């Protein structure tokens, strides 16, 4: 084999090696570009965990131990009329804490209609007032008991 042939073979080997390196460089570059676009490409997990949330249905009108759970009002005739007409604008706690007679409730309802844009309750007003008077009656609060067994002392100058 002549020197020229040996040189040609070596040049061909170098050429093939360079083509191989260039091909690897192009493939690696292509994979890097693809990876930047699609980062999940190299993850070999095929399982997918899908989290599904199931809405819990809550009964808005559930009653426990005679109490309407959502509002805290006592379960009695007229409850839903009170819930539908009163708790649209204010908390049921405001209703519960005000214990009035039928006359005072009617006056309060009239005041709300004149000043707070409460709609005409029609026949529901009687149902509402009867419910409130029956379930949240006026509590008689008497005078404070007379103080006894007090150790009085004289003020000093």
| Model confidence pLDDT, tens digit, residues 31-50 | 999 888 888 777 776 667 78
Q: How far apart are the C-alpha atoms of 20 and 33, rounded to whole Å? A: 20
* pLDDT for the residue 148: 85
| Model confidence pLDDT, tens digit, residues 131-148 | 999 999 988 777 887 888
Asked whether 96 and 136 are in contact (CB, 8 A), the reply is yes
Q: pLDDT above 90 covers what percent of the chain?
A: 62
* pLDDT for the residue 143: 81
Sign of the CA dihedral 81, 137, 116, 88?
Answer: negative
Total count of residues recorded for the chain: 157
| Model confidence pLDDT, tens digit, residues 13-27 | 999 999 999 999 999
How far does CA 67 lie from the centroid of its chain?
Answer: 23
């Amino acid at each position: 084999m002549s020197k020229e042939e040996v040189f040609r073979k070596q040049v061909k080997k170098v050429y093939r090696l360079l083509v191989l390196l260039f091909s690897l460089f192009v493939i690696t570059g292509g994979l890097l570009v693809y990876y930047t676009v699609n980062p999940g490409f190299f993850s070999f997990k095929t399982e997918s965990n899908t989290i599904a949330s199931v809405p819990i249905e809550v009964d808005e009108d559930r009653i426990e131990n005679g109490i309407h759970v959502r509002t805290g009002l006592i379960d009695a005739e007229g409850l839903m009329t009170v819930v539908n007409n009163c708790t649209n604008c204010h908390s049921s706690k405001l209703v519960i804490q005000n214990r009035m007679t039928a006359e005072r409730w009617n006056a309060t309802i009239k005041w709300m209609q004149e000043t707070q844009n409460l709609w005409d309750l029609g026949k529901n007003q009687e149902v509402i007032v009867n419910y409130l008077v029956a379930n949240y009656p006026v509590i008689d609060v008497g005078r404070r008991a007379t103080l006894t067994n007090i150790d009085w002392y004289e003020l000093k100058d």
